[in-house]
Amino acid sequence: MKKKICIITGSRAEYGLMQNLINKFHKDKKVDLKIFVTGMHLSPEFGNTYKEILKDGFKIEKKIKILNRSDTPYAISKSTALGVAGFGKIFNTYKPDLLVVLGDRYEIMAGVIAANFHHIPVAHIGGGYTTLGGIDEWIRHSITKMSWLHFVSNLTNKKRVIQLGEDPRRVFKIGSLGVDRLRKTNLLNKKLIQKKMKFKFNKKNILITYHPVTLEKNTSGSQFKEILSAVSKLKDTKLIFTYPNSDTFGRIIIKMINKFVSSKQHDSIKFSSMGHVNYLSVLKNVDCVLGNSSSGLIEAPSLKTPTINIGDRQEGRFKANSVIDVQPKRNLILKSIKKIYTKKFRKKLNNIYNAYEYKDSSNKAYKIIKKILIPTELKKFFYNL
């Protein structure tokens, strides 16, 4: 009898991380795989990235539209409610044996809530992180408490999940799926990137990926203004912007990117979505990534690319020596940019340790899911330390 496995994906980033794992289930004749797509994937504003899933040869079973044209707290609340209702209807029909999710976004939580009401066990990838500045913090821990299986990136995260009362026998350290896929991806060189993405690198090049700090009120515009003020002073530098996620007040950042790029078309370029391979290829070939994206902490160190991490959105995560933490102040940002070009800093990039890097993470998760006995009831005893 085939094991019915459902996977929810709501964003370009988390799909890119899961692509290898999805492919293993897709090829397994003993698995009945269903892929449900939601969130930013279905938004023209964010690049209609569901097309990447189809391009990879996967079938999308259902699309659950939940995004509003606004990103206010009320709009996010409404989107979450639509997600719970939409996934509830789907689970009432499909009744999978296991739901596999990754990350800490509200659309993923919506699917997990619906799965719990339908007594569907959840396998959660990426629990145990702490991110002080983001609403993802409590969403991630909430998903942990609603999940049956846990796949974490390192020992520290494993301890945190157990600290939340989860049985150690169901918590597995597998490393980062992002670094795992990175090692299995043929990245493009500068020449191919320029041809494919239709822009030219400059003498210096900086990738800017900045998301709203969702646990702070109305700071998106002011903090991003400091970043733009700093990078506008750079010379002979190509500024490569990627759009933020569909978080609260993310559209403020998008408007600021559009205005900035339109006034500096020779020195800057923007992308609503690059695609996973293109993004990693650019990340490898720039002088640094600047912003507050997790890719600066997880994938960038394995590529020997420096990271200038702005603010406290990622506070609490392990950071390699290639990461420079800086507050969102233009003079401090400029000082950090100057630092990454010094011989002393560039030299130490050759010996960077990345705590998120383990061998064959996707295959480890796949084998555990294939082997483990799916529970017939979801009673969980709180594991006391």
Per-residue pLDDT at 217: 60
Read off the pLDDT band of 213 (50, 70, 90).
confident
Per-residue pLDDT at 263: 92
Residue 88's domain comprises 3-175+358-371
Confidence check: pLDDT of 75 > 90: no
Give CA separation, 146 vs 56, 67, 285, in Å.
30, 23, 40
Which residues make Cβ contacts (< 8 Å) with residue 150, sequence separation at least 6? Answer: 123, 124, 127, 128, 144, 158, 161, 166, 170, 171, 172
Residue 247 lies in a domain: yes
Q: What is the mean pLDDT of the chain?
A: 91
260, 163: one domain: no
304, 322: one domain: yes
Phi, psi of 220 (to 5 degrees): -55, -50
DSSP 134: S
Range 95-118 average pLDDT: 95
Count of CA atoms in the C-beta half-sphere (13 A) of 235: 0
31, 90: one domain: yes
Tell which wins on pLDDT, 312 or 80. 80
Tell me the C-alpha distance between 234 and 53, whole Å. Answer: 37
Tell me the C-alpha distance between 166 and 173, whole Å. Answer: 14
Tell which wins on pLDDT, 208 or 351. 208
Read off the pLDDT band of 218 (50, 70, 90).
low
Count Cβ atoms below 10 Å from residue 72 Cβ, excluding itself.
12
What the block records as the tokens of 135 is 């609403």
Residue 321 lies in a domain: yes
* CATH number of the domain encompassing residue 224: 3.40.50.2000
146, 230: one domain: no
The per-residue pLDDT for range 307-358, each reduced to its tens digit, is: 999 988 878 788 999 999 999 999 999 999 999 999 999 999 988 988 888 8
The per-residue pLDDT for range 134-165, each reduced to its tens digit, is: 677 899 999 999 999 999 998 999 999 999 99
pLDDT above 70 covers what percent of the chain?
A: 96
Residue of 89, 92, 106, 125 lying closest to 7 (CA atoms): 125
The total number of structural domains that make up the chain: 2
Per-residue pLDDT at 323: 96
For the ranges 11-15, 27-31, 136-140, 292-296, the maximum mean pLDDT occurs at 27-31
